[in-house]
Structure 1
Amino acid sequence: MNAPLRLCIDRSLQRPLLTQQEREAINRGRWFASLSASLRHDILRLGQVTRYAHGDLIAEQGQTAREWFTCASGAIRFRRTTPEGKMVTLTYAEPGIWVGEAEVLQRGPNTSDAHAHGPTTLLSVPEDTLRALLLEHPSFGTALLTLQARRMRLIYGLMEDIATLPLRARLAKRLLHLLHRFGPRGVEPGEPHSIGLSLAQDELAQLLGGSRQRVNVELKWMEREGLISVRPRGIEVHDVQRLEALVVQCAAAEAQD
């Protein structure tokens, strides 16, 4: 049996510590929860905690990736600058989502900028610690491959949506996705569900692969139908079931054309 993992780490680097709520948010992540108890313990023990203000740069596109990390509170916005100089929002990561393992292990560059969206806490694992964890826990490598596979399935699903669904269905599906990831827990039936993520309409359009003008038209249509309300600090969903039905109806109509 291997000896317990012991690394010479300056404990002062681990300040501030995770709050109980932040630790619970990481542990709720489906992938992280699937790891062995000893591996989860070592990751939480050896990870470094950093707190960011809204808009702070976490990782810079093109710079060598040094850390594997997860959001413990707040959110992370990933944005890429194209060769033409256009900045495009790619996705948002909520608490419990781990990113960057491929870039770190191949010592490659960050493929996008990462910024804090709202006050955000990160738990990060430096490259040397990540490699030590892989040696100490034989199951960790397989777990990272599973994480990569899940991410690829998500990417392929988004590509399929862009290719096969009309914008209205893609918008409804993305709002439901964001609600699931960033919305409140335990909302009473009949109450509005706030997505909890303030998005500019051009960013929402970039996430959907559509224009800002067309997305604005669809948002206004959903407001008139009583499905959502667009507020200054985010979108409220009033009828989850009708949004889900809208996705199905639009997909069926598109398949018949």
Structure 2
Amino acid sequence: MDNDTLLQALSRNPGFAALDIDYRREIVQVGRVRQLPAGGCVFRQDEAVDGVYCLLQGQVHAVKNLADGREQLIVYRVRSGWFGEVSALDLNPRSFTMRASTDLEYFHIPQPAFEALLGNDLGRARFFISELCHRTRVSYEYGSDALALDAAQRLAKVLQIQYDNVRLANPEVSCPGLSCSQEDLACMVGVSRQRINRILKSWQAEGCIELSRSHIRLTDVAALQRLSNGVIEGAPQGLTPGDGH
């Protein structure tokens, strides 16, 4: 991939696109495009920091290794999503594993180049800090949602967030599908897979979504958004707020 094509791909991210063109070109010049097959790990929990990344093609998911040996799914990342800034900024080991759920093509800025790129200029660091702050705010919302919303509302919100991410990564697709297994959704929502299946089947019967194997297409995004915001009127009728956890 030549630098101009890479610059165009990275500029799908609105924050990156808003940077000064000379700074964007400098970022492109210090990194490398890499590939990884599905199932591979970009980095693993507790590994030393090795820079920052941006997805160009494919999907990864962040997982946390728990003390009992299980893995907890944290979040998905799709094309145009940056990740790895936490360790790159505080120099502590990785706090989770980033695993490829599809074949990947990604952009990697090695740690020495990343530090040289930022220098002592807060303006240059602001883009990466903003990306980190956005994810921090989303994490706070997840914690609040676990206490304030029921299972159907939390699932609606998770799907809405994933839908917005995929739309950002694929602006040319009018109604993109989501590649999420019900097991993964259950981890993110904090309920059983059977509970997720019942909610999704109800929404499918009402015409809000279309289901296939590990694939969901939102056919009534507005209705699910109203449910995730706690609005009963116009929300899917099979499972409204208060339907249980």
TM-score range, shorter chain: 0.7 to 0.9
Q: How does 1:194-205 map to 2 (within 5 A)?
A: 194-197=176-179, 199-205=180-186
Give 1:113 deviation, angstroms: 1.0
Decide which structure has the larger Cα Rg and report it. Answer: 1
Q: Deviations over 1:101-147 (max 9, x none)?
A: 22123332111111122121110111110111112855113333333
| Equivalent residues of 2:181, 2:214 under 8 A apart | no
Distance in 1 of aligned mates of 2:108 and 2:65: 24
Give the corresponding residue for 2:8.
24
Alignment equivalent of 1:102, drawn from 71, 75, 86:
86
Q: Deviations over 1:172-215 (max 9, x none)?
A: 12212212212453556xxxx34242x22111111112221211
Give the corresponding residue for 1:220.
201
Give the corresponding residue for 1:242.
223
Q: How does 1:109-148 map to 2 (within 5 A)?
A: 109-135=93-119, 138-148=122-132
Distance in 2 of aligned mates of 1:142 and 1:19: 23
Equivalent AA in structure 2 for residue 201 of structure 1: Q
**TM-score when scaled to structure 2?**
0.85
Across the aligned residues of Structure 1 and Structure 2, the Cα RMSD in angstroms comes to 2.3
Q: State yes or no: 1:231 paired with 2:215.
A: no
Distance in 2 of aligned mates of 1:125 and 1:164: 39
Give 1:25 deviation, angstroms: 3.5
Alignment equivalent of 1:50, drawn from 34, 37, 49:
34
Give the corresponding residue for 1:36.
20
| Equivalent residues of 1:176, 1:240 under 8 A apart | yes
Q: Secondary structure at the match of 1:235?
A: strand
Alignment equivalent of 1:66, drawn from 46, 50, 57:
50
Aligned residues: 233
Distance in 1 of aligned mates of 2:171 and 2:89: 35
Q: State yes or no: 1:150 paired with 2:134.
A: yes
Distance in 2 of aligned mates of 1:231 and 1:117: 17
- Identity in percent: 24
Equivalent AA in structure 2 for residue 223 of structure 1: Q
The runs of 4+ residues in structure 1 deviating greater than 6 Å are none
Distance in 2 of aligned mates of 1:206 and 1:187: 27
Give 1:218 deviation, angstroms: 0.6
For structure 1, the residue ranges without an aligned partner over 5 or more in a row are 1-15
| Equivalent residues of 2:182, 2:214 under 8 A apart | no
For structure 2, the residue ranges without an aligned partner over 5 or more in a row are none
**TM-score when scaled to structure 1?**
0.82
